[in-house]
Amino acid sequence: MDLNDELKTAAWRKATKSGSNQGDCLEVAPLSGGRVGLRDTEAPERAPFVVSASVWDAFINGAKKGEFDF
């Protein structure tokens, strides 16, 4: 399947803690080859970012360790 077709049919989801933000969050979707799609819920028509499994894993690991905390 072509990546563009895969992104159109991807199972996008957002964090349950986003609650009633009405779109103020990111959505993620698992893709083939372990890749992950990321898109802004305020602009789902824009092209999403697609990252490799290793990039996604590094991001999640860093987030869990608080590396992105302000």
**19-31: b or e for each residue (b if 16 or more CB lie within 10 Å)?**
eeeeeeeebbbeb
- pTM (predicted TM-score): 0.81
Q: What is the number of alpha carbons within 13 Å of residue 33 lying toward its C-beta?
A: 10
pLDDT in tens, 10-33: 999 987 777 665 667 889 999 999
pLDDT in tens, 31-45: 999 999 999 888 888
DSSP string, 42-65: T-TTSPPEEE-HHHHHHHHHHHHT
Q: What is the number of alpha carbons within 13 Å of residue 42 lying toward its C-beta?
A: 4
